[in-house]
Amino acid sequence: MTQGSAPRQYSQTRPGSSGTRRSIHARVLDDLAALVVDELELRLAVRKQARRATELNDDVVQALTIAKMRFELGQTANAVESLDQALASSKRILGELVEDAPTFRRGESDR
C-alpha cells in the first residue's frame, strides 16, 4: 500500500478467483510485506538525514568556527584553509542531497 492510498477491502470472493481463504491470506501478506518495506525505507531515510545533519555539523560548521577563530587570532592563511575545507565539504554534501532529491521543476513544491 502506498502513502495516501485507501486501505484495501478484503472479501471472501474476488472477480476471477475461487474466493478461497488462501487468496485472501496471500493478499493480506502481500500488503503487510509492502507496509514493512515502506517502514524500512522511511527509517533508512530518517537515518540518512541524521547522518547528513551530523556531517554538516562536523565538516562544515566546525571548519567555519575554526576559520573565524583563526581570523580573530590574525592567522589569515590558516583561516582561508579552513574556509576552503568548509566550502569543499558543503559542496560535496549539497551534491549528494541534489542527487537524492526528487526532480522538481522550478516553482514546484512537494507539499
Q: In this predicted model, what pLDDT tens digit does every residue of 5-39 receive, in sequence order?
A: 666 665 555 555 555 667 888 888 899 999 999 99
pTM given for the model: 0.53
In a domain, 2, yes or no: no
Length of the chain equals 111
Angle, helix 76-100 to helix 62-72, in steps of 10 degrees:
160
Tell me the residue range of the domain where 85 lies. 21-100
In a domain, 16, yes or no: no
pLDDT at 93 over 60: yes
pLDDT at 107 over 70: no
Per residue in 50-86, pLDDT tens? 888 888 888 899 999 999 999 999 999 999 999 999 9
Domain count for the chain, please give it.
Answer: 1
